[in-house]
Amino acid sequence: MSDIDAAIQLDVSKAITSAFQNRSVSECISLFDNLEKALLEMPQIDAEGFQLKEWQSGGMYCRQITIPEGCLLTGRIYKRDHIEIMISGDISIVSAEGVSKRYKGQNTIEAKAGKRQAGYAHKETVWMTINLCPDKAEPDERLDYTSVLTYKELNNYDYSKFLEEESLTEEEITGIVNTEDIIDMPKEFNHIYKDYSDIDGEGLFSKKSIARGDIICPVRIGNNRTIAGRYTNHSATGNAKPCFIDGEFVYIACCDISSNSEITSNYRLALEVRRAEGDL
């Protein structure tokens, strides 16, 4: 490799990595979407170019690709925890959380559900993912069983999974949510508002940025809900953690939240917290 080629690789890697640094998760997700749109307008490498190999055995689906040197790519969003194995190569990876790392040689990685990554291959890299997948799944169904292309698809999948876990129907959830017990938000939280949501109907937002660990707002006051208890949408990767502080049910930011970004929470956590508190 020439010094010029090496410099180009380094600059591309640094540019991608630095673009995601010091940003909130919602901003990183938006950057990922923009990056993916830009990449789709460029010449594409097909399955043959990636030397795609697939195996299905014992309820597991293994997918291996060879990423050519100089290739920049974004990955799919996985529905379940899984294992990733880098067999060989040299690649810089940045996640939707803004975390970047350079991997060389052989690596085994415990990957979590909801994970999304972009990568730049400094050298040819062989990458393998191992996911749960029923043996009866047809070859063209395996990838969609393990992963999705957008966070909206991930949320829809995880919301349906939540309803199944709790033996609830969509009609029952609607009946629980659409009640007339809404109370005004305290004045110190007047930056919290409801607006159109890309997830579903209306959602919860903040006019100002919120730092990780800060109280976002109360969810309930006494026996009444605030708009947070009414309009917060479910997300598998929610940015609001429900908890009780001095007997008050509130949301805490579990990551930095940029202004006018939607505030979301995993409904499972709300039920766990309320059951532990004896509030259900």
Consecutive 10-residue averages of pLDDT for the chain (280 residues): 40 60 67 80 85 94 95 90 96 81 94 87 96 91 91 88 89 77 90 91 93 93 90 90 92 90 92 82
Q: What is the pLDDT of residue 227?
A: 93
Note the pLDDT of residue 114: 85
Tell me: do 233 and 110 sit in the same domain: no
Q: Which residue has the tokens 């043959």?
A: 48
What's the pLDDT score for residue 1?
39
Give yes or no for a contact between 150 and 141, defined as CB atoms under 8 angstroms apart. no
**Does 236 lie in the same domain as 211?**
yes
Nearest alpha-carbon partner for 69 in 118, 10, 123:
123
Tell me, what's the pLDDT at 168? 86
Would you state the structure tokens that stand for residue 276, as one six-digit string?
């532990």
Residue 216 domain boundaries: 152-277
Domain at 9, CATH number? 2.60.120.10
pLDDT of 4 reads: 35
Do 91 and 189 lie in one domain? The reply is: no
Residues 127 and 247 in one domain: no
User: Under a CB-based contact definition with an 8 Å cutoff, are residues 13 and 120 in contact?
Assistant: yes
Q: Are residues 59 and 164 in the same domain?
A: no
Final residue in a domain of this structure, among 107, 122, 149: 149
* Cα 171 from Cα 176, distance rounded (Å): 9
Per DSSP, the three-state class of 207 is coil
End of a domain among 117, 149, 181?
Answer: 149
Query: Domain check: are 145 and 160 in the same one?
Result: no
Residue 158 sits in the same domain as residue 107 = no
Residues 14 and 127 in one domain: yes
Q: Cβ–Cβ contacts within 10 Å for residue 7, how many?
A: 10
SS3 readout for 121-152: EEEEEEEEEEEECCCCCCCCCHHHHHEECCHH
State the CATH number of the domain containing residue 251: 2.170.270.10
pLDDT of residue 16: 61
Indicate if 186 and 55 belong to the same structural domain.
Answer: no
pTM: 0.75
Q: What is the pLDDT of residue 3?
A: 39
Of 149, 179, 199, which one is at a domain's C-terminal end? 149
Do 23 and 132 reside in the same domain of the chain?
yes
pLDDT recorded at residue 36: 80
Domain count, the chain: 2
Same domain for 40 and 157, yes or no, is no
Asked whether residue 68 falls in the same domain as residue 164, the answer is: no
**Sequence-separated (6 or more) residues with CB below 8 Å from residue 229:** 182, 219, 220, 249
